[in-house]
Structure 1
Amino acid sequence: MYKILTFVLALISLNLFAQNYKPAPARLTTQWGEAVTPENAWQQYPRPQMKRSDWKNLNGLWDYSIQQKGAVKPAGFEGKILVPFCVESSLSGVGKPLLPEQELWYSKRFTVPQNWEKKEIILHFDAVDWETRVWLNGKLVGSHQGGSDPFQFNITPHLNKGEQELVVAVWDPTDKEMQARGKQTLDPKGIWYTAVSGIWQSVWLEPVSKGHIIDVYPVPDIDKSVVAFGLQSASLTGSHQLNIVVKNGGAIIKDTTFSFHNNFVLPLENAKLWTPETPELYHTTLTVKKRGQVVDQLETYFAMRKTSLIKDDNGYMRLALNNKPVFHLGTLDQGWWPDGLLTPPSEEAMMYDIIKLKEMGFNTIRKHIKVEPSRYYYMADSIGVLLWQDMPSGFLWPNHPSHVGHDDKEDWVRPQASAVQFEKEWKAIMDHLRFFPSIVMWVPFNEGWGQYDTKRITAWTRKYDPTRLVNSPSGWTDRGVGDVLDVHQYPGPGMGVVELNPGRSMVLGEFGGLGLVVKDHIWNPNKRNWGYKTYTEDAVLIREYTELMHNLSLMVKRGLSAAIYTQTTDVEGEVNGLITYDRKVIKIPETLLQKLHQPVYDPADGRVLFINQLKETDRPNIFHSLQEPPADWLTQPVQFQKSKQKIALKKEGNVYAYQDVDFGKEMPEGLGLKLYASGDVNIYINGVKVWSEDQVRIKRHYDDINLSSFLHLLKPWNNRVAVEAKSATQDVDFDFALYQWNK
């Protein structure tokens, strides 16, 4: 009878909690957000890289109150908030902003399982934005600054008998200070999004013995067929025994025991290598014993893979996986959700994005200025996708020196205290994420956003983790360091100059951004909904995307090693996603995307030669006129100026230019054009218009245009390739160059 009554009371309690929860009004919702309840909100084990059998999830309904900054713990609370969703989100049930002059207070009561009595109890916060103070039973446990790195406290000394009271206070300056915050702002518009404050990833408890493993870091070496484990531990010595069982595909391939030490190497003969096509994982059990008694046991895993640079037969530096060139084709993935903001509504929702991108034919994701929950990276490891991991940017905006311009000669001088905090967070994020084999590249800086001391930060990142590539910065203000030269070009595509960057690989870290407005799937119909080019018809989007991919394919032949399309999904006012913000409409069919993407993965064979110039950095002779020429100028002799210099074109001006090309009898198998222009542009081959685009606004880098579909217009010996640009939208140094590809 007692058991039945207890069960009934538990059901009543759950129902009361459910009745106290209701999502705040949302402009858009996802199917997963619509299914969220206090009982199912993020119930999975949160740390798959180091999994123990005993744990307790504290996600669910907590009490909350918003108070003025500096106030003491409130005597009462305003209502319920669903953790781990931030206070600004719909799924939190609150949907209120937290201002810099305010603090967000939480309260949660819980009990510790009786069988944990002789254990140390660790309280985990996987992410809280930004400054956190924690009390247990009225005693201050500790504090933390940082919005994206996990932290924990040993709360054992502060436990009471029976029920515990956990109180958390959070202050978040958002965009009023220069802490790492990514794209959060108090005034969302353009590329800046709704702020995220307070707890936004899981909160949980874990019991451990006094002697236990704190961290596991496996480092594979495929060239030596070994994996080196680095452990951090507490109160474990050589008097303990460590047993390691390694499985692959369910079969035990290694079972060994030795005296405990923090660093050891396991040989692994005939290892199966991890790739996006074959994401082989070695699941591993670590068991620590003393005098035959289990002291600690956990599940972990590793993958055998290597990331590096490799020079191909044409001398281009390529991104390599397992000593073979692999082209990285991916999306800029910001990980925002209309109902959860930075917190995905569920694990299923998070997995949907990864799986869809693979179905579209991408093998890479650039995780853009956001750190996801640990389970995201486990999914990437398991599903098979290459990750570029950004550090969330920290700077002031707009018109502040912390935003470094593209042409600025010097980095920003970051204040000392801010630099110390930024580097502390970057190290903590790397410590947290370096376990995951899907991460192949670190990105400390994006464009000029808070970019400072680039050479030192890049060198430190490479030294701290020599097993991965470093991209610093991604876009804009290059300082000649890092493993890649990363260009951002919208819509592009474009790339850097190989000859000017010896030893580095050429990558296109952002391009595209083609927008499509999908009715009834817009965040705010009353605001500007935009892409770098915005369309209203599916067919136009598909046509333009097809051309982008066609242009990209020839660039691979001349050294491009990666391309990151903007972006996975729409985000608030940005409608340049391949999927709508609510994940309910895929704008281009997956099968078509696969077909369009395949050519960039084809072997980069043959050779590219620049036409009318010995190498890319030479200048070709360009014949040009700023006045409208005779009607037959596209094919006949005309009196144009001849120059090897770029052509200065004023706003609203026109330019007519050509190069004469002698191929002899051997026709090229590919033809490309590099263009720097503004205005309405037309390209002609021997008098036939082959390319046209209105309101071209090329900045910073040349656009590449693949003209290989028009090789039939070429003839032996003499040919004319002409470009006209009319009604320039800005002052511009007009220029174009030609190159050919032959197998």
Structure 2
Amino acid sequence: MRILFPCLAVVVLSVTAKAQSTWKIVPGKPQTSWVADVNPAKPLPEYPRPQLKRANWQNWNGLWKYAITPASEQNIPATFQGDILVPYPVESALSGVGKTVGKDQALWYSTNIALSKPSGTNQVILNFGAVDWQCDVFVNGKKVGRHEGGFDPFSFNITSYLGKGKQQAIALHVWDPTDEGPQPRGKQVKKPEGIWYTPVTGIWQTVWTEILPATHIASTKHTPDVDASQLRVSALVEGAQAGDIVKFVALDGVQPIGEVTVPSGVNADIKIENAKLWSPASPYLYNLKVYLYRAGKQIDYAESYFAMRKSSLLKDAAGINRMALNNKILFQYGPLDQGWWPDGLFTAPTDKALLFDIVKTKEMGFNMIRKHIKLEPARWYYYCDSVGILVWQDMPSGDLGGNHWDMRSGQVSGFNRDKQRTAESEGYYRKEWKAIMDAAHNFPSIVSWVPFNEAWGQFKTKEITEWTMKYDPSRLVNSASGGNFFYTGHVLDIHHYPDPQMPDPEVFGKSGQALVLGEFGGFGLPVDGHTWQDKNNWGYQSFKNKEELLQRYTRSMNDLKKLIPLGLSAAVYTQTTDVEIETNGILTYDRKVMKMPEQTLKQLHQQLYDVTVK
């Protein structure tokens, strides 16, 4: 054994050196400081799914081969054009490629992985955190399946496609029409400008495999019920047989505090006595162990976690509904967070970078983040759960245009009309919205779903909103943040730039909806040496220096504070960081410059939470 360790070190160093010699970041754009920590032999090595964690897994991030071909080409290319660093999208600097693909071309990936066919009845599951947009997966030249959806995780059982020996060939065919298709795509456009950004094509989250028994836990669902002091749990089991049972064990640290045993797909409740309630002030997480048994024998096991928290509305003394957490009115204030990176686009360069934005947001005194038209990797929500940040989760928009939208002086106008979307477009939206809600359900930090933003592709508003409320009654539903208003859902949300405003409480306060300012601010300050481009950067209202910016922000906080006693439940400031030519961030795009001091911001924000609401 003493002889093997140096040999292993030599092999690892050799692989790392080879990866570094064939990969270089594309120059010409700002870089975050975490670029120096990116190991091309092992980028983003962390386990990607904290809510269903297993020990037997392999990470396949690293250098793959890529080719860009005509979109009509359906055969795996005989030759490839170079290396691409997975999981950074092909347009990003960190991919080492930095090329645009577009609707008329396809992106191919290829790699060989060292993976033997498992023994007995065990199965190999190939997992993708996210691939944008249409993805065909091949193993050893044979097509395994197709997935459509740029934001939700997906998996394929590849056991029957594995060949003899340890080398298996994996290939992907990816097609993404960006803004020339009807699919959800967020702010990506083929010609970036203003508030619209660089396209993201291909793999942009971790790729990994797990070896699982033929019958295994495919997913779990846990929903806290604070009022009843219990946690509702269920599990879906792949390959379940009659008599198979799933046991959930809840733990406070390492101490078991409750358990329940159920068949696959059946709901049951675990009593959580004297629950420690989760909040931004006290983000307590319980551990959860999940066992699968057949005839008394354990055949699968996974680890998870949960929190006890309640998201609801409460009426104040004036009869206006307000957002509440754990049956207490809580003013929610946070930044619009778009989750873009100058070096990785949709993909943070490292796990520490992913955590940084959340920690910095908490240090600035915000208690909430509106995650804007993007679903993040699961680890991002795990960090929100751990750090203690409320999350409003947007649905990524798509199929824009064709709607009427108008807002005047904070008052809701009458020019509301749903978009008429095609059956194909509706199908893509509904499929991905359900997939997103399923993937993110177990994260307690998410307290609100936001199906639409500013009428962007907004359609069948009442139907979509009511479906969302029924599908997940444990959270609030903000029907259309700053969009067309149909008095459905829990929230009436306006956008007003640059100054804070609110819906008229005399008119809308008795509507039964919480009154929210879903976007305001947008104060711009380009910082020399830290911008996406040298000139023509943009902000809703631009300032010359940090002092002017802070004065303007302070004035807005004073104005915002006056709206809270009138019935305002929450507000969202635009935005956490600069994004491409938008310089509205509190931080520069490269995260290297704070435009306003954290401690000053924290003091200003604390005044909002200190406002007494009767």
TM class, shorter-length? over 0.9
AA partner of residue 489 (structure 1): H
Question: How many angstroms apart in 1 are the aligned matches of 2:388 and 2:295?
Answer: 41
Question: How many angstroms apart in 2 are the aligned matches of 1:250 and 1:532?
Answer: 50
Question: How many angstroms apart in 1 are the aligned matches of 2:520 and 2:265?
Answer: 48
Question: How many angstroms apart in 2 are the aligned matches of 1:302 and 1:35?
Answer: 31
Q: What does 1:696-707 align with in structure 2 at a 5 Å threshold? A: none
Q: Report percent identity of matched pairs.
A: 48
- Equivalent of 2:128, from 122, 125, 129? 125
Is 1:133–1:169's contact at 8 Å kept on the other side of the alignment?
A: yes
Is 2:505–2:567's contact at 8 Å kept on the other side of the alignment?
A: yes
Question: How many angstroms apart in 2 are the aligned matches of 1:292 and 1:412?
Answer: 55
Is 2:204–2:347's contact at 8 Å kept on the other side of the alignment?
A: yes
Question: Secondary structure at the residue paired with 1:431?
Answer: helix
Is 1:127–1:150's contact at 8 Å kept on the other side of the alignment?
A: yes
Matched, 1:504 2:504: no
Question: How many angstroms apart in 1 are the aligned matches of 2:37 and 2:202?
Answer: 23
Matched, 1:576 2:584: yes
Shift of 1:157: 1.0
Q: Give the aligned partner of residue 392 of structure 1.
A: 396
Question: How many angstroms apart in 2 are the aligned matches of 1:2 and 1:42?
Answer: 27
Q: Give the aligned partner of residue 46 of structure 2.
A: 44
The structure showing larger relative contact order (alpha-carbon pairs under 8 Å, at least 6 residues apart) is 2
Is 1:331–1:366's contact at 8 Å kept on the other side of the alignment?
A: yes
Matched, 1:203 2:210: no
Q: Give the aligned partner of residue 83 of structure 1.
A: 86
Is 2:404–2:415's contact at 8 Å kept on the other side of the alignment?
A: no
Q: Give the aligned partner of residue 347 of structure 1.
A: 351
- Equivalent of 1:182, from 181, 186, 197? 186
Matched, 1:54 2:56: yes
Q: Give the aligned partner of residue 402 of structure 2.
A: 401
Q: Give the aligned partner of residue 111 of structure 1.
A: 114
Is 1:122–1:206's contact at 8 Å kept on the other side of the alignment?
A: yes
Q: Give the aligned partner of residue 564 of structure 1.
A: 572
Shift of 1:519: 1.1
Is 2:123–2:213's contact at 8 Å kept on the other side of the alignment?
A: yes
Is 1:24–1:90's contact at 8 Å kept on the other side of the alignment?
A: yes
Shift of 1:489: 0.5
| 1:89-132 alpha-carbon deviations (Å, 9 max, x no partner) | 00001011112100000001012257666411111111111111
Q: Give the aligned partner of residue 370 of structure 1.
A: 374
Question: How many angstroms apart in 2 are the aligned matches of 1:415 and 1:257?
Answer: 44
Matched, 1:33 2:42: no
- Equivalent of 1:74, from 77, 102, 105? 77
Q: Give the aligned partner of residue 523 of structure 2.
A: 514
Q: Give the aligned partner of residue 523 of structure 1.
A: 532
Question: How many angstroms apart in 2 are the aligned matches of 1:516 and 1:188?
Answer: 20
Question: How many angstroms apart in 2 are the aligned matches of 1:4 and 1:584?
Answer: 39
Is 1:239–1:260's contact at 8 Å kept on the other side of the alignment?
A: no
Shift of 1:175: 1.1
Is 2:404–2:417's contact at 8 Å kept on the other side of the alignment?
A: no
| 1:388-421 alpha-carbon deviations (Å, 9 max, x no partner) | 000000024xxx4157555533211001111011
Question: How many angstroms apart in 2 are the aligned matches of 1:413 and 1:402?
Answer: 9
| 1:192-241 alpha-carbon deviations (Å, 9 max, x no partner) | 01110011111110111111111111111111111110211123356345
Which stretch has the larger CA shift, 101-110 or 211-220?
Answer: 211-220
Is 1:402–1:414's contact at 8 Å kept on the other side of the alignment?
A: no
Is 1:65–1:104's contact at 8 Å kept on the other side of the alignment?
A: yes
Is 1:403–1:451's contact at 8 Å kept on the other side of the alignment?
A: no
Q: Give the aligned partner of residue 492 of structure 1.
A: 499
Q: What does 1:664-675 align with in structure 2 at a 5 Å threshold? A: none
Is 2:89–2:204's contact at 8 Å kept on the other side of the alignment?
A: yes
Question: Secondary structure at the residue paired with 2:530?
Answer: coil
Question: How many angstroms apart in 1 are the aligned matches of 2:406 and 2:90?
Answer: 34
RMSD: 1.8
Question: How many angstroms apart in 1 are the aligned matches of 2:169 and 2:279?
Answer: 47
Question: How many angstroms apart in 1 are the aligned matches of 2:525 and 2:130?
Answer: 33
The structure whose residues are more often strand, as a share, is 1
Shift of 1:68: 0.8
Q: What does 1:208-607 align with in structure 2 at a 5 Å threshold? A: 208-237=212-241, 239-254=243-258, 262-396=266-400, 400-401=401-402, 408-501=415-508, 502-526=511-535, 528-605=536-613
Q: What does 1:602-617 align with in structure 2 at a 5 Å threshold? A: 602-605=610-613
Question: How many angstroms apart in 1 are the aligned matches of 2:245 and 2:216?
Answer: 12
Which stretch has the larger CA shift, 112-121 or 592-601?
Answer: 112-121
- Unaligned residue ranges in structure 1 (runs of 5+): 607-743
CA 1:255 to 1:408, structure 2 compared with 1: closer, same or farther past 3 Å? closer
CA 1:453 to 1:531, structure 2 compared with 1: closer, same or farther past 3 Å? same
| 1:26-76 alpha-carbon deviations (Å, 9 max, x no partner) | 410001123212134110001000001111111111000000111132110
CA 1:79 to 1:600, structure 2 compared with 1: closer, same or farther past 3 Å? same
Shift of 1:251: 3.0
Question: Secondary structure at the residue paired with 2:32?
Answer: coil
CA 1:409 to 1:3, structure 2 compared with 1: closer, same or farther past 3 Å? closer
Shift of 1:289: 2.7
| 1:231-264 alpha-carbon deviations (Å, 9 max, x no partner) | 1112335634544332223433235667777322
Matched, 1:166 2:170: yes
AA partner of residue 110 (structure 1): I
Question: How many angstroms apart in 2 are the aligned matches of 1:253 and 1:575?
Answer: 49
CA 1:542 to 1:3, structure 2 compared with 1: closer, same or farther past 3 Å? closer
Is 2:116–2:164's contact at 8 Å kept on the other side of the alignment?
A: no
Could you tell me the TM-score, scaled by structure 2's length?
Answer: 0.95
Could you tell me the TM-score, scaled by structure 1's length?
Answer: 0.79
Which stretch has the larger CA shift, 7-16 or 445-454?
Answer: 7-16
Question: How many angstroms apart in 1 are the aligned matches of 2:262 and 2:417?
Answer: 53
Shift of 1:449: 0.6
Which stretch has the larger CA shift, 116-125 or 379-388?
Answer: 116-125
Question: How many angstroms apart in 2 are the aligned matches of 1:261 and 1:366?
Answer: 32
Is 2:260–2:268's contact at 8 Å kept on the other side of the alignment?
A: no
AA partner of residue 284 (structure 1): L
AA partner of residue 596 (structure 1): L
Question: How many angstroms apart in 1 are the aligned matches of 2:357 and 2:4?
Answer: 47
CA 1:259 to 1:575, structure 2 compared with 1: closer, same or farther past 3 Å? closer
Shift of 1:536: 1.3
Q: Give the aligned partner of residue 410 of structure 2.
A: none
CA 1:597 to 1:327, structure 2 compared with 1: closer, same or farther past 3 Å? same
Is 2:234–2:262's contact at 8 Å kept on the other side of the alignment?
A: no
Shift of 1:358: 0.6
Tell me the matched-pair count. Answer: 602
CA 1:241 to 1:410, structure 2 compared with 1: closer, same or farther past 3 Å? closer
Question: Secondary structure at the residue paired with 2:63?
Answer: strand
AA partner of residue 549 (structure 1): M
Is 2:260–2:269's contact at 8 Å kept on the other side of the alignment?
A: no
- Unaligned residue ranges in structure 2 (runs of 5+): 408-413
CA 1:128 to 1:605, structure 2 compared with 1: closer, same or farther past 3 Å? closer
Structure of greater Rg: 1
CA 1:330 to 1:288, structure 2 compared with 1: closer, same or farther past 3 Å? same
Question: How many angstroms apart in 1 are the aligned matches of 2:150 and 2:282?
Answer: 34
